[in-house]
């Protein structure tokens, strides 16, 4: 724990330093979601950490206490963005939209934080717009370089922002998808964004929306690598504190429901605050996100979601059916560990990412194969762990219907699709 008050040991809000006394959800002990186990490691000890989230009574930021050093988590991260077709397509559409809306061209500079394997920046390269990636995992930055995308291997913060600005210039567009929530030092990160942004420049950030997490039971998106869970109200407050005004926001279907926020320097009056900002604030107020008691009711919802999934699995196994998993994503790790699902329920899971094949899921030790295993074993049920990619996977794996196979989606509640 790095952010706790010295006298009481009570963790403090990573934004406003208020002691955190209100539990949002306690998912028990869980291993890191990207530490897939090799066959040789099966007989070794495995570290488990508390998966306990709080809500701050002052700023309503939902957050995980920090038990694990970020260097342990991200230095060899196994998530390659390019393995999801729909995510690459989402990135391509974003690049088209944003280049046109803010007239980006050959004299602009685009910087992406957590640029991964270049899945997004490759589209700017094709348009001749200069860009730079910032990526903490060296093995992933190498994959970007192979695509011709220059990447700085570092964690982003105020200091690295100033170094990048000095060496490469300020950013006219500064973007980050699914990084803000993963940042342990939130204030340092956002103040870095402010430092790297050119006058008149635009920041866009995408992250899962807390309102969706709560209304759709997406508790499995809580894992150790994911430190903050933002409503629009809470993120707006954080950015305003660092001199950035959010002038627009979009609600997106990605990752089960995300926000894309648009920020600019507070004194840049060329971009007035739009109607979508006012509307979303009103929607969150209506849902009660500005009241502490709203957050307290989430626990019971999560327990019921677990009971429904176990009900289904127990009945399926009693009926002699075979059940296997699809995917080995971070959210699958939370779900499997919290629900106690091991090979007693799931024979195996499959993943398109060769990095995970031949390994085992963290904590639950379910073997991970390539997708061709499904055709060989013809299971009765395929449990989709990355339920946010449901449509894409059901299309790719539609052939399981040839032998009467069915799809099972665990979130927001267990549902079988013929
Ligand atoms: Zn706070």
Span 243-250, average pLDDT: 98
- Distance (Å) from CA 62 to ligand 1 centroid: 8
Q: Residue 83: pLDDT band by 50, 70, 90 thresholds? A: low
- Distance (Å) from CA 57 to ligand 1 centroid: 7
- Distance (Å) from CA 89 to ligand 1 centroid: 36
pLDDT at 1 over 50: no
- Distance (Å) from CA 52 to ligand 1 centroid: 16
Q: How buried is residue 65: exposed, middle or buried, by Cβ count under 10 Å (0-12/13-18/19+)?
A: buried
What pLDDT, on the 0 to 100 scale, is given for residue 137?
84
- Distance (Å) from CA 46 to ligand 1 centroid: 32
- Distance (Å) from CA 234 to ligand 1 centroid: 9
238: helix, coil or strand? Answer: helix
pLDDT in tens, 299-326: 999 999 999 999 999 999 999 999 999 9
- Distance (Å) from CA 165 to ligand 1 centroid: 30
pLDDT at 66 over 80: no
Helix (H) or strand (E) holding 309: helix 298-318
- Distance (Å) from CA 161 to ligand 1 centroid: 24
Cis peptide before 46 (omega within 30 of 0): no
- Distance (Å) from CA 156 to ligand 1 centroid: 22
pLDDT at 79 over 60: no
- Distance (Å) from CA 186 to ligand 1 centroid: 11
Question: What gap in Å lies between CA 383 and CA 3, rounded to an integer?
Answer: 38
- Distance (Å) from CA 269 to ligand 1 centroid: 28
pLDDT in tens, 247-256: 999 999 988 8
- In percent, the amount of the chain with pLDDT more than 90 equals 82
- Distance (Å) from CA 54 to ligand 1 centroid: 10
- Distance (Å) from CA 128 to ligand 1 centroid: 42
Strand 62-64's sheet: what is its strand order?
22-30, 49-55, 62-64, 228-229
pLDDT in tens, 206-224: 999 999 999 999 999 999 8
- Distance (Å) from CA 19 to ligand 1 centroid: 8
Question: What gap in Å lies between CA 264 and CA 267, rounded to an integer?
Answer: 8
Q: What residues have a C-beta under 5 A from ligand 1, the ion?
A: 13, 15-16, 18, 56, 58-59, 61
CA angle 138, 142, 143 (to 5 degrees): 120
Burial 365-383 (b: 16+ CB within 10 A, else e): ebbbbeeebbeeeebbbbb
The mean pLDDT of the chain is 93
Question: What gap in Å lies between CA 144 and CA 248, rounded to an integer?
Answer: 30
- Distance (Å) from CA 14 to ligand 1 centroid: 7
- Distance (Å) from CA 265 to ligand 1 centroid: 23
Lowest mean pLDDT across 33-42, 76-85, 350-359 = 76-85
- Distance (Å) from CA 59 to ligand 1 centroid: 4
Q: Residue 143: pLDDT band by 50, 70, 90 thresholds? A: confident
Span 52-79, average pLDDT: 77
- Distance (Å) from CA 20 to ligand 1 centroid: 8
pLDDT at 133 over 90: yes
Span 364-377, average pLDDT: 97
Lowest mean pLDDT across 78-87, 351-360, 372-381 = 78-87
202: helix, coil or strand? Answer: strand
Higher pLDDT, 168 or 6: 168
Q: Residue 2: pLDDT band by 50, 70, 90 thresholds? A: very low
- Distance (Å) from CA 173 to ligand 1 centroid: 28
- Distance (Å) from CA 388 to ligand 1 centroid: 29
pLDDT at 138 over 90: no
- Distance (Å) from CA 242 to ligand 1 centroid: 15
pLDDT at 5 over 60: no
Q: Which residue(s) pair with 21 in the sheet?
A: none
Span 23-45, average pLDDT: 93
pLDDT at 298 over 70: yes
Span 321-333, average pLDDT: 94
- Distance (Å) from CA 411 to ligand 1 centroid: 29
- Residue 391: C-alpha distances to residues 256, 387, 394 (Å): 12, 9, 5
What pLDDT, on the 0 to 100 scale, is given for residue 364?
97
What pLDDT, on the 0 to 100 scale, is given for residue 6?
47
Lowest mean pLDDT across 12-26, 81-95, 191-205 = 81-95
pLDDT in tens, 199-209: 999 999 999 99
What pTM did the predictor assign? 0.90
Span 392-400, average pLDDT: 95
- Distance (Å) from CA 37 to ligand 1 centroid: 36
The residue whose two tokens read 């307290």 is: 296
- Distance (Å) from CA 63 to ligand 1 centroid: 9
């Amino acid at each position: 724990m790095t952010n706790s008050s010295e006298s009481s040991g009570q963790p403090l809000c990573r934004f406003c330093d208020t002691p955190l006394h209100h539990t949002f959800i306690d998912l028990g002990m869980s291993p890191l979601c990207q530490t897939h186990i090799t066959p040789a490691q099966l007989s070794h000890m495995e570290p488990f950490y508390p998966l306990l989230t709080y809500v701050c009574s002052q700023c309503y930021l939902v957050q995980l206490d920090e038990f694990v050093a970020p260097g342990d988590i991200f230095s060899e991260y196994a998530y390659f963005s390019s393995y999801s077709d729909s995510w690459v397509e989402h990135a391509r559409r974003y690049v088209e939209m944003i280049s046109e809306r803010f007239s980006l061209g050959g004299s602009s500079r685009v910087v992406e934080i957590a640029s991964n394997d270049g899945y997004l920046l490759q589209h700017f390269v094709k348009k001749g717009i200069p860009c730079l990636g910032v990526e903490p995992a060296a093995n992933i930055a190498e994959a970007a370089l192979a695509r011709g995308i220059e990447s700085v291997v570092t964690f982003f913060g105020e200091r690295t922002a100033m170094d990048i600005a000095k060496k490469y210039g300020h950013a006219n567009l500064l973007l980050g998808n699914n990084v803000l929530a993963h940042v342990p030092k939130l204030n340092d990160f956002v103040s870095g964004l402010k430092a790297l942004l050119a006058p008149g420049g635009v920041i866009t950030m995408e992250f899962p929306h807390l309102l969706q997490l709560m209304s759709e039971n997406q508790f499995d998106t809580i894992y150790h690598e994911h430190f903050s869970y933002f409503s629009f109200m809470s993120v707006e407050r954080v950015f305003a504190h660092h001199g950035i005004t959010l002038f627009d926001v979009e609600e997106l279907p990605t990752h089960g429901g995300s926000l894309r926020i648009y920020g600019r320097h507070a004194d840049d009056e060329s971009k007035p605050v739009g109607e979508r900002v006012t509307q979303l604030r009103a929607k969150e107020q209506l849902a009660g996100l500005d009241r502490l008691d709203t957050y307290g009711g989430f626990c019971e919802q999560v327990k019921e979601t677990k009971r429904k999934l176990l009900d289904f699995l127990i009945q399926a196994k009693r009926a002699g059916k075979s059940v296997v998993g699809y995917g080995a994503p971070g959210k699958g790790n939370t779900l499997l560990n919290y629900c106690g699902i091991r090979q007693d329920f799931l024979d195996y899971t499959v993943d398109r990412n060769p990095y995970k094949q031949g390994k085992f899921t963290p904590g639950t030790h379910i073997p991970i194969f390539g997708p061709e295993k499904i055709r060989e074993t013809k299971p009765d049920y395929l449990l989709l762990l990355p339920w946010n990619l449901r449509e894409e996977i059901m299309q790719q794996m539609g052939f399981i219907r040839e032998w009467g196979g069915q799809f099972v989606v665990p979130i927001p509640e267990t549902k079988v699709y013929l």
